[in-house]
Amino acid sequence: MKRAMLARLFAVAASAAVCAAGAGAALAGKVVGFLTLEGDLKERQTVAPLFGGGEKNHTLRELVGSLDRIAAGSELSGLVIRLRDFAPTTTQVQEIGAAIGRIRASGKKVHVFGDLMETRELLLGSYADEVILQAGGAVSLPGVYAEEMFLGDMLKWVGVSPDFVQVGDYKGASEMFNARPTAAWEQNINQLLDGEYAIVRAQLRKGRGLTDAQLDAAMGDSFMALGSTAVRHRLIDAELDRPELDKHLEKSYGEDFDYDENIGPGSEKERPDLASMGMFEAFAQIMKAVEESGRRETTGPTIAVLHIDGAITDGESSSGGFMGEGGVGAVTIRKALADIEDDGNIRGVIVRIDSPGGSATASENIWLGLQRIRRAGKPVWVSVGSMAASGGYYILSAGERVYVNPSSIVGSIGVVGGKFGLGGVYEKLKINVIARVRGPRAGMQGGLNPWTDEERGLVRKAMTETYDLFVSRVKAGRPGIDIAKTAEGRLFTGEKAIEMKMADALGGLDRTVTDLAAKLGLAEGKYEVMDFPAPKSLEEALEDALGGFGGLGGARSGASLAELDVAGRQLLGERGWGQVRRALGALLQLRDRGVVLVAPRVVIFR
């Protein structure tokens, strides 16, 4: 099986080499870049690239880097961005949009072309000069819709007694186990939705030159609209069949313009010419690449980007988790921080956070590791992606300077802990469970009954100590912050967070890198950026893939999880199921931990 996998890698690499060989041909007349974006956009590579090729979907930083090279270069007169089932987050759209703005500022035009224009596609198009819909496509801009799940009545019906304690009135991690939302959570989530909706509207108004009334009219007609309706409301500029696009662009670039498709992430990297080699020589090249794919070292001044992307857990990071949702392990992060501390070429660190939180002890462990980096004389800055909430914000507080996107969600300073009393379920199922307890508090984590009043008081005392430590870390890291207005589980969007002194400036990862480099005195082009933790080598990835077939029990378990994953996607959709999966993955840490720092994620935005 391993040989078969390598053979497939050989075929893919050979094909890529052949494609690259024809891309360097001279182009006549004006040249327009043609960049296709599809699928999810990763924050970092999880598997080391083969021959510089990378995974199917490149990272946000790689994409923004490619766009900035287009802005700085003089070879292209314009750029067409072809969207094909592209699924970025709103914050990623904002970072890509800022890069599009830099291309336009350099005097080049940007055109966005896609088959289906929904909210995120329209948002991305609003940063460009022109938005073009494939003929026969559709436009959908219904607004922001959120669904929250409240399971309290269902759990009561089946005999489960949720017993949760939270420190912070606005903390929403355990809200789903109530029959309906509390007044504090209603206030918290509604102001957050108001902020997210205002951000979308503001960019569409600015980018498409619309008034509030015009945008209201456009949204009223565009739940699912034809291209002609979207053109009439100025949400898009034209509706064209793909073969007509070339003729359309001739108006801007002349009849002799040509496309350059070799402009995306990874296109500037050299690949071996496998097509010109014999079979055995090519196979030897691939085997060498597999062996060396996990090796990397700094060669000069470097800025490290440390990724906290997912639920924060104790132990090692995992790519599995609940339904395949990975976890960010404190042990893995501390190893990466040790490598950063020991590498003299690394001048500073940017912590890129996209996390709803997780283990309180793991969050503190990572916070301590970042403090070591600062004491070693290396500045620690923070860039927030979609979310730095709860444990994610705990880690953020270790940074000296914090950048957020307008739609970033930050906060949720609070603590939640609890368990489920399953005695009613066992009774309904006629299962007799006998609890045997040794020790004065041994039964507190038992699964039969909720806590007694005395036990709940002990839990709240322990959680309050964790909360007080959390608040002390925030107050130390964010001078001037008003805890009375920002803590207790409150959530804020980016600009509001800056106003509340929870963050410092608006900007994506690229701006954070550029500003830190300037602070360090590193000239443009004279330093490299390296992601941590390191991606797995191809050899490690192959071993992980092959290790999943070790036995019937493992295979059956994997199959059942896969079936549940498919069912979840079918019921809730790709984006909705992803949010549910992340929330459950984080909350399942309560099986092993009594207290977690988790922000609510079961909020399905449409």
Most confident range, picked from 14-23, 188-197, 232-241, 544-553: 232-241
Give the tokens for residue 362: 């793991």
Asked if the model's pLDDT at residue 416 lies above 90, the reply is no
* pTM for this model (two decimals): 0.75
Per-residue pLDDT band for 428 (boundaries 50, 70, 90) equals: confident
In this structure, of 13-17, 247-251, 449-453, 598-602, the range with the lowest mean pLDDT score is: 13-17
- CA-nearest of 151, 192, 154 to 170 is 192
- Closest by CA position to 405, among listed 143, 123, 46: 123
The number of helix segments (H) and strand segments (E) in the chain equals 20, 22
Q: Please state the rounded mean pLDDT for residues 406-415.
A: 92
For residue 257, give the nearest of 247, 267, 266, 265 by alpha carbon: 247
C-beta separation of 239 from 228 below 8 A? yes
Q: Which two tokens stand for residue 422?
A: 């399953």
Q: How confident is the model at residue 578 (pLDDT cuts 50, 70, 90)?
A: low
pLDDT digits over 294-306, tens only? 557 888 999 999 9
Which pair of tokens denotes residue 562? Answer: 């896969």
- Distance, in Å, from the CA atom of 193 to the CA atom of 491, rounded to the nearest integer, reads 10
Which pLDDT score, from 0 to 100, does residue 445 have?
74
Q: What is the mean pLDDT of residues 512-531?
A: 94
* 134-138, 143-147, 279-283: the lowest-pLDDT one: 279-283
Q: What is the pLDDT of residues 434-473, one digit of tens each?
A: 776 766 777 787 888 888 888 888 888 888 888 899 999 9
Nearest alpha-carbon partner for 204 in 190, 188, 222: 222
Q: Which of 328-342, 460-474, 579-593 has the lowest mean pLDDT?
A: 579-593
pLDDT, position 606: 44
Which of the residue ranges 5-9, 86-90, 171-175, 445-449 would you say has the lowest mean pLDDT? 5-9
Which residue type occupies 429? L
Assigned token pair, 151 = 């399971």
**Choice among 111-125, 205-219, 252-266, 513-527 with the minimum mean pLDDT:** 252-266
pLDDT > 70: what percent of the chain? 75
pLDDT > 90: percent of the chain: 45
> Using CA atoms, how far apart are residues 445 and 451, in angstroms rounded to an integer?
9
In this structure, the number of other CB atoms found within 10 A of the CB of residue 448 comes to 16
Q: Is 188:413 a contact under the CB 8 Å cutoff?
A: no
The amino acid occupying position 371 is Q
Q: What is the pLDDT of residue 23?
A: 38
Point out the least confidently predicted range of 15-24, 76-85, 388-397. Answer: 15-24
Q: What DSSP character marks residue 143?
A: -
pLDDT at 218: 93
DSSP conformation letters of 498-556: HHTTS--EE--HHHHHHHHHHHHTPPTTS-EEEEESPPBPHHHHHHHHHHTTS-HHHHH
Residue-level pLDDT at 167: 81
**What is the distance of C-alpha 598 from the center of its chain?**
16
Which amino acid, 201? Answer: R
92 or 459, greater pLDDT = 92
Picking from 54, 112, 49, the residue whose alpha carbon sits closest to that of residue 86 is 112
Q: What is the DSSP letter of 42?
A: B
Q: What is the pLDDT of residues 229-279, one digit of tens each?
A: 999 999 999 999 998 999 999 999 998 899 998 887 766 544 555 555 665
- CA dist 337 and 219 (Å) reads 47
Residue 168 confidence (pLDDT): 82
For residue 113, report the phi and psi dihedrals to the nearest 5 degrees: -130, 130
Tokens of 386: 């979609």
Distance CA 375, CA 552 (A): 50
CB 396 within 8 A of CB 353: yes
Check residue 36 and give its pLDDT. Answer: 92
Q: Domains of the chain, with CATH numbers?
A: 24-142+222-260 (3.90.226.10), 302-605 (3.90.226.10)
Lowest average pLDDT, out of 167-181, 337-351, 584-598, goes to 584-598
What does the pLDDT average to over 390-417? 93
What's the chain's average pLDDT?
A: 80
SS (H, E, C) 352-415: EEEECEEEHHHHHHHHHHHHHHHHCCCCEEEEEEEEEECHHHHHHCCCCEEEECCCCEEECECE
Give yes or no for residue 157 having a pLDDT over 70.
yes
Which residues are registered as beta bridge partners of 505? 403
Q: What is the mean pLDDT of residues 188-211?
A: 92
CB 330 within 8 A of CB 395: no
pLDDT value of position 599: 61
Asked if 264 contacts 65 with a C-beta cutoff of 8 angstroms, the reply is: no
